[in-house]
Amino acid sequence: MSPETEEHRVRTPEAEKAPPHGHPLDSVLRSEVLPHIWCPGCGIGVALGAFLQGLDRAGIPLEKRVLVGGIGCSSRVVYYAKADAYHTTHGRAIPFATGIKLANPALHVTVFAGDGDLFAIGGNHFIHAARRNMDILVVCINNFNYGMTGGQSGPTTPHDARTTTTPNGNFEIPFNLPQLAAAVGAVYVARWTTLDVRRLRDCFTEAAGKQGFRFVEVLAPCPVSFGKNNDIGSGLDEMDYYRGLEQIWGSPAGLPERVEVRSNGDLSGTDISLHRPIIVGKFIDRVRPTFLDSYKAVATAAAAKGKPP
């Protein structure tokens, strides 16, 4: 086995027990419900794999893992991982997860959902959970469109991109998710593509080990909807786009490598455009008191006063 292959293995006790010819993640997947629903070339499975490896490395035990999804392809992640898993309503995964975390603070709660779920219908919950520094990890699979319903435009669809509801090109301006998350108070903000499997895995390990509102944006190909509508081709071609193969988009040849890694917290220029480099990296890593830290301090003081109502 080459070191390269070894790198992909999960070296947890659970993984060691996996059948010799099984999937290396069998111990943390609900393998009995496979195959999954995702299309060929979809990036969500890659993100899930990196997430599960990251959680293993962070030492989060299975019985402490909670996954909450909304509605959409990305939210279906909660079906396939071993965890207490809740597939809720469109846009409402974050408040549902908030209730779980506050009811049992010992749990490690992750919200897995798509860009439309988290930032269109669920945008209000996102900004408030971040403002409160609610102790949850939010993973956004950003594939630039509504995949499950067949490729409509959404809050992250790049300007000019074609979708079934922007057949002549998107005339709206998309969100810059890391900038948004940073502005509303997230303590950890990172963006990677599904090509950055190991960086993504390490990012999840790091994020899982921190407290507070953590946000990871994963740029994932959606060849069946977004790729098709924009003549990108297969999932591999779409991943190549993330890597910066400018010819896919008909841009002038000779552009520098499109994917740029930054970690100095500078979020300028991180907007995603069809015509500029996509900047990935860890943007924010800071400490703020969590909601529960502040709540407990106030509740303890109130209890000490013992004032009857």
Partner 1 sequence: MSPEKGVVLTGSHFMLGDQACAEGAIYAGCRFFAGYPITPATEIAERMAERLPPMGGQYIQMEDEIGSIAAILGASVAGVKAMTATSGPGFSLMQENLGLGFMMEVPCVVVNVQRGGPSTGLPTSIGQQDMMQARFGSHGDYAAIAYCPSSPQEAFELTIDAFNTAERLRTPVLVMMDEVVGHMRERVVILEVGKRQLLFRRLASVPPSQYRPYRVDEDLVPEMALAGAGYSVRMTSLTHDELGRAVTDTATQAVLVPRLLRKVYEHREVYEQYELRHAKDAEVLVVAYGITGRSAMGAVEAARARGIRAGLFRPKTVWPFPGDALLRAARTVRRVVVAEVNMGQVALEVERLLAGKCTVVRVTSPGGEVLAPELILEACAPDRAPKVRR
> Is 119 a binder of partner 1 (CB under 8 A)?
no
For partner 1, what does the binding mask look like between residues 33 and 72, x meaning CB under 8 A? Answer: x----------------------------xxx-x-x--x-
Q: How far apart are CA 89 and CA 86, in angstroms?
A: 10
Instruction: For the CB of residue 231, give the shortest distance to partner 1 in the complex, in Å.
Output: 32
Identify which range of 2-10, 11-19, 100-108, 224-232 contacts partner 1 by CB under 8 A: 100-108
State whether the Cα torsion 59-62-63-66 is positive or negative. positive
Tell me the β-bridge partners of 77.
none
Using CB atoms within 10 Å of the CB of residue 4, give its burial: 0 to 12 exposed, 13 to 18 middle, 19+ buried: exposed
Using CB atoms within 10 Å of the CB of residue 74, give its burial: 0 to 12 exposed, 13 to 18 middle, 19+ buried: buried
The contacts of residue 24 (CB under 8 Å, 6+ apart) are 8, 9, 10, 15, 18
Tell me the β-bridge partners of 217.
140, 191
CB atoms within 10 A of CB 6: 9
Count of chain residues binding partner 1 (CB under 8 A): 47
Of residues 80-99, which lie at the interface with partner 1 (CB under 8 A)? 82-89, 91-92, 94-99
**Closer CB to partner 1, residue 79 or residue 249?**
79
Among 57, 125, 162, 258, interactor with partner 1 by CB under 8 A: 125
Q: How far apart are CA 60 and CA 43, in angstroms?
A: 24
> Contact positions toward partner 1, by CB under 8 A?
30, 33, 62-64, 66, 68, 71, 78-79, 82-89, 91-92, 94-104, 106-107, 124-125, 127-128, 291, 295, 298-299, 302-303, 305-306, 308-309
